[in-house]
Amino acid sequence: MSDTPQSVLQEIFGYQTFRRHQSDIIKMVLQKKDVLVIMPTGGGKSLCYQIPALLFPGLTVVVSPLISLMKDQVMQLRQLGVAACVLNSSLTAQKYYSNVQQVKNGAVKLLYVAPETLLQPKTQQILQQVQVDCLTVDEAHCISEWGHDFRPEYRQIVVLRNQFPRAVWMALTATATPRVQQDIWDSLKFQDGKKFVASFDRENLFLQLINKSDTLHQTLDFLQNHRQDSGIIYCFSRNQVDELAATLQDHNFSALPYHAGMESETRAATQEKFLRDEVQVIVATVAFGMGINKSNVRFVIHYDLPKNIESYYQEIGRAGRDGLPAECLLFFGYGDVRKIRHFFKEKSEKERQIAETQLQALIGYAEFTGCRRKPVLAYFGQTAVQENCDTCDNCTSAEKNVQDATIPAQKFLSCVKRTGEMFGAGHIADVLRGSKNAKIRRFSHERLSTYDIGAELTRKQWVFLANQLVSQGFLQGDEEVGSLRLTTAAGPLLLGERPFLTQMIEDREKTSTGKRKIDFGDYDRDLFEKLRDLRRKLAEQVNVPPFAVFSDKSLVDMAASFPQSQESFLIMHGVGRVKNEKYGTIVLDVIRKYCLSRGIRPKPLAQRHLRSERGKKRPPKFLRVGAVFNRGLTIEQIAANEQIKTVTVVQHLLDFAAAGEALRPYDFSKDYPELTQYKTAIAAAFARHGDFRLTTVFNELSGEVSWELLKVFLLQQHHDALNLP
Ligand code: ADP
Ligand code: ZN
């Protein structure tokens, strides 16, 4: 087994470089210092404990809240050739026993357990017999009542601190406000450890909000533009879930419902189909998600309002775990705000207060006209790095029309007052627009001074304005009757002592859904589809979900760079030793055939790697040299630039060619005129001894021909072979 974090990263996981924080975290853990890791979903938390687990002599125990999560992790680790297993109540007695044996034998590096299982005396007995080097608490926010998934058993894990004196403790989570972070730290009795908080910003998620008007058609429109993509649509209620799923099916979309009211087998089957890309869209209540580790979810739609920013962040977090662009669409309506408040009623006063504060923050998010990332990050106590993120609706919309709506606001407020603070927004709008409906006549509202003074806005716009007034605190709605009342803040506004600014409804409605095309950059779509098919077949054979074989990102990488050799295949994102052994030959075969059939001359991998992300480890030198050569530099120029001998450059080019990379058409005798003279002699010598007997050939030509020239000769041969007309 490999022996540094870097070599494990490359050989086992198939990644070239660590992401931010990963390397520091791993170092701390290896020094047995406790760490708390707060990193967004998809940030790469798992590696932070998986790599130390492979380097520690003993066992790493991972506490995880859900069986599906554990199974998923174990399945993915096994795909990488890592010895991992689970202990939980879902195992058969036989399987349980065999897993226990493996743990006792030291055959297992990572053991996943549910907190309940870990707390059982029989589990502790087993663990007493082995050396536990690390105890990892995954989804650590479950420890805190302030978190969104509080699990009482999680709080008890700390009683095990003394049981494993040699173990370092880790806690990881994707969502934790500063308050929850502190709670985790204290509950687990971390002392001289360290907390790592990565940026919560998920740069690959496009954040978009649309005001609810015709949610169904907007959704259909969106899906139409995402025919190939996996996604989740969240709804409030089970009924809505069933209904929407059925409607989508009627419109020929591959969609299935998922909620807690369904049989557990049906739910499991649905989840499985989603993981395996057999169904495209899941329409679900929030019951769906925590166990979903699918990396290629390309969109998350909130058909209804989530209950707070934290849940929202958690739910959209399921999109784009593979790091490729994904879209998050939130349908926002004040009706939903009322519905959510309705649920608060059953809560205790304290809980209601918390819930209300959180809901206000969410409304603030919805109404915010600046970069959407700001309120989200602010919620987690962070600040956005850029003023303009370029990946949210507000930053990308051409006109961000915040208007001065002081006069309409005054008209509205005064009409609310004159009608006795007894009516809802719709009726006030009717009065302002001079409607002649029965209700108006019944209350003689046509006689009011505010009757028919508001033709400048449509009814819908007045209602929208009312909602803005409510959410900015000038009006208060009565939940029971739906009537509006002025707050004390309304006074100064009515008196013209302060302005009222808002975005008006048409501006928002211009933001249509789904027209953005997800752009993964430049890659060959046909090859991607071919590889996707192949992936599905391979996954079926080994009975795992497709993304466990290769992530979308790996496929995009392959479809962009057409690797031709094992060496270049190993450079692909997520391809490590085991995946290369398992799938390399068959995938390379498909890529090569594809390239041949389309007459594609693979572009040198090296160029891509030269341009690769900042901070990435440099690619092997031969790739670099090959790339520069292909860009038009001569051997001598390269030697001068790189400060190496020309013979070394030639050797690099040979390695480059041997790795299956194509060299640009070139006549080497231009640089090495003596090649023409000796070509026949060298060819004859090689013919007698074989290509790789350089020394023999060199001796046979009794030093008349230099090493360098021999290599150049080979290079020319390679090159001619690759560039046959
Ligand atoms: P989290 O647990 O934080 O949600 P994961 O650990 O599942 O995130 O990682 C998300 C994705 O990023 C996975 O596909 C993982 O293999 C990949 N990943 C993690 N670290 C790296 C890295 N250093 N380089 C490239 N990909 C990485
Ligand atoms: Zn933005």
What's the CA-to-centroid distance between 322 and ligand 1, angstroms? 7
User: How confident is the model over 620-648, as a mean pLDDT?
Assistant: 81
pLDDT at 280 over 90: yes
CATH code for the part of the protein at 621-722: 1.10.10
Place of tokens 């990565």: 198
Asked whether 372 and 330 are in contact (CB, 8 A), the reply is no
Place of tokens 């008890």: 156
Token couple for 442: 């019944």
Ligand 1 atom nearest to CA at 19? 23
pLDDT at residue 506, as a whole number: 56
Domain 525-611: CATH superfamily, name plus number: HRDC domain (1.10.150.80)
| pLDDT tens column, 296-314 | 899 999 999 998 888 898 8
Q: Is 208 left (phi over 0), alpha (psi -120 to 50) or beta?
A: beta
User: Which residue among 8, 19, 51, 197 has the greatest number of ligand 1 atoms within 8 angstroms of its CB, and so is best to mutate?
Assistant: 19
pLDDT at residue 427, as a whole number: 93
Q: What is the DSSP string of 438-498?
A: HHHHHTTGGGSTTTT--TTS-HHHHHHHHHHHHHTTSEEE-TTT--EEE-TTHHHHHTTSS
How far apart are the C-alpha atoms of 201 and 309, rounded to whole Å? 13
Ligand closest to Cα of 376 equals: 2
Same fold, 5-197 and 205-396: yes
Asked whether 126 and 135 are in contact (CB, 8 A), the reply is no
- pTM reported for the whole predicted model: 0.62
Architecture of domain 5-197: 3-Layer(aba) Sandwich (3.40)
pLDDT at residue 186, as a whole number: 93
Ligand closest to Cα of 617 equals: 1
The H-assigned helical ranges of 498-562 are 505-510, 525-542, 546-549, 552-561
pLDDT at 514 over 50: no
More confident residue, 514 or 28: 28
**196-to-86, 129, 314, 321, 465 alpha-carbon distances in Å:** 27, 32, 19, 20, 43
Ligand closest to Cα of 550 equals: 1
pLDDT at 618 over 50: no
Residues in contact with ligand 1 (CB, 6 Å cut-off): 15, 18-19, 22, 39, 41-47, 295, 321-322, 551
Ranges of each domain in the chain: 5-197, 205-396, 403-502, 525-611, 621-722
How far apart are the C-alpha atoms of 539 and 276, rounded to whole Å? 8
Asked whether 438 and 445 are in contact (CB, 8 A), the reply is no
User: Under CATH, what is the fold of the domain 403-502?
Assistant: Arc Repressor Mutant, subunit A (1.10.10)
What's the CA-to-centroid distance between 500 and ligand 2, angstroms? 24
User: Under CATH, what is the fold of the domain 205-396?
Assistant: Rossmann fold (3.40.50)
pLDDT at residue 692, as a whole number: 54
pLDDT at 85 over 50: yes
CA torsion sign, 60 to 63 to 68 to 73? negative
Helices (H), strands (E): how many in the chain? 35, 17
User: Which residue among 15, 66, 110, 170 has the greatest number of ligand 1 atoms within 8 angstroms of its CB, and so is best to mutate?
Assistant: 15
pLDDT band at 687 (very low <50, low <70, confident <90, very high): confident
pLDDT at 333 over 80: yes
